[in-house]
Amino acid sequence: MPDGDHGEIIMWVLRQCMMQRPELALYVEQGLRVDTYRKGCIRPDGTLAPVGYFAGQGEWASPNGVLVAVEVTSRDRDTDRRDRQDRPRAYAYVGIPVYLLIDREKHSVVVYSSPENGIYQSRRPYRYGSAVHIPAPVALTLETERLKDYVD
């Protein structure tokens, strides 16, 4: 289960996105239909999409309009397989342009981009404290110094 720092990190991402791209919203735990993931559904920690994109779609929405899937690692035994292996493949498979992984164990932010044939062609890790550049179609920069506050 997510802890307090997990929630604070999601809110930090939400605020960064709202300040830089107010026409987009970070939807927390919106379910997506992804046929290749476990039982065909996935619930990212956050999904960045145009404001109003999910209206009328119900619990399990189409991932077609999602620009970024955001995951924050949890402190459980499944996080390595789930967040670092399975989810990047699932998000790339449905063509989500960017997967943003905030890896609390490794004190890093990893930007996966350029999905092609179910694989992200680019994987760029940044240490906490770095300026993290999210490529087009999102084109924003996350200043990650604040993430150091959420390290054990």
Residue (of 11, 46, 41, 10) closest to 28 by Cα position = 46
Residue (of 24, 43, 25) closest to 33 by Cα position = 43
pTM of the shown model: 0.93
The DSSP bridge partners found for residue 100 are: 70, 111
Low-confidence stretches of the chain (pLDDT beneath 70)? 1-2, 80, 152
Q: What is the pLDDT of residues 127-144, one digit of tens each?
A: 999 999 999 999 999 999
pLDDT of residue 90: 94
Q: With 0-12 CB in 10 A as exposed, 13-18 as middle and 19+ as buried, what is 123? A: middle
Domain range summary for the chain, segments of one domain joined by +: 4-150
Domain 4-150 has CATH 3.90.1570.10: yes
